[in-house]
Amino acid sequence: MHVSLRQLRVFEAVARHLSYTRAAEELHLSQPAVSMQVRQLEDDVGLPLFERLGKRILLTEAGREIHHYSRAIDRSLQEMEEVIESLKGVSRGRLRIAVASTVNYFAPRLMAVFQGRYPGIGLRLDVTNRETLVQMLDSNSVDLVLMGVPPKDIEVESEAFMDNPLVVIAPPEHPLAQARSIPIERLAEEVFVMREEGSGTRQAMERFFAERGQTIRHGMQMTRNEAVKQAVRSGLGLGVVSLHTIELELETRRLVTLDAQGFPDRRQWYLVYRRGKRLSPAASAFRDFVLSEAARIAVLPPLNPAPI
């Protein structure tokens, strides 16, 4: 076989997404170019790698085998790049960081300080939900991840670096805004604006109520924290969010946090990467920076600050 690295990389993206369109978007190629690379690979292998089922594409047995080896080859190439970069020192290199969407409320501040100290390191930041972060860790396609609870079904290294209190938010005029020590049973009577399936905040919220024998009354579902906050402000229900996400709303009194039993729900942010992964000097420098300084840079706002 005369297989090229380019063919394998294009094939791996299509196999991971099971979509020519999404692979083309990720690789910044046209869809015909992606299709051509896959066809050339199939010609070299001598077997079909995908089969169509209606509008969907699925891997054939040969495709699954090629996908396994293409991922292994890609990981080896990444390690080679990291070793070469390590010979150049920490002043250079590339770093791909992925963060949960909630982390992005303070991630730019971390990146700015880190970039100021290491201007020669090229940074790429991906912001997504928990489900996609887990996929990135599984494929080892990212250097480091900042997220909530680390996945248990993937071998990873995880280190807590900062508190992540979850709070219940409401508009200031809500009947419970002035209540104290609200029982969880009373809270469960309210409708809640929810994040989408796959969101770490949603999983934590559902687990919190389930552990106390309560069921959440689902209201509207949103894919972004900003949309959740706007929906709560509009009176469409209560919400559960990280305290990191509502600094401005608390300062301007557009939202308040409720004094509910069990809240704030004390959780933590974690720095996560694949177990056994050889961190480059750039990745090691970022890891040390986050563990030692993130809590100082990303200061939590006070709960319901007094009006100025």
Only one residue has tokens 């969907």, namely 56
* Strand, helix or coil for residue 9: helix
Listing DSSP states for 205-231 in one string gives HHHHHHHTT---EEEEEESSHHHHHHH
Only one residue has tokens 């970022």, namely 286
Amino acid at 255: L
5-73 folds as Arc Repressor Mutant, subunit A (1.10.10)
| Residue 3 pLDDT exceeds 90 | no
Percent of residues, the chain, with pLDDT higher than 70: 95
Please report, for the chain, the start and end positions of each structural domain, with discontinuous segments joined by +: 5-73, 89-162+268-297, 165-266
Maximum C-alpha span of the chain = 73
Query: Half-sphere exposure of residue 63, counting CA atoms within 13 Å on the CB side?
Result: 20
pLDDT tens-digit readout, 62-87: 999 999 999 888 878 877 776 676 65
Domain 89-162+268-297 has CATH 3.40.190.10: yes
pLDDT tens-digit readout, 198-233: 788 898 899 999 999 999 999 999 988 899 999 999
pLDDT tens-digit readout, 153-184: 899 999 999 999 999 999 999 999 999 999 99
Region for residue 276 given its phi and psi (left: phi exceeds 0; alpha: psi -120 to 50; beta: otherwise): left
pLDDT tens-digit readout, 99-129: 998 898 899 999 999 999 989 888 999 999 8
> Mean of the pLDDT values across residues 286-304?
88
Which own/partner contact pairs does 288-291 have at CB distance under 8 Å and 24+ positions apart?
289/110, 289/113, 289/114, 289/117, 290/110, 290/146, 290/161, 291/159, 291/161
* Strand, helix or coil for residue 97: strand
| Residue 308 pLDDT exceeds 50 | no
Domains 5-73 and 165-266 share a fold: no
Residue 91 pLDDT class (50, 70, 90 cuts): low
Q: In Å, what is the CA distance from 177 to each residue of 106, 198, 204, 256, 264?
A: 27, 29, 23, 7, 15
165-266 folds as D-Maltodextrin-Binding Protein; domain 2 (3.40.190)
pLDDT tens-digit readout, 227-255: 999 999 999 999 999 999 998 999 899 99
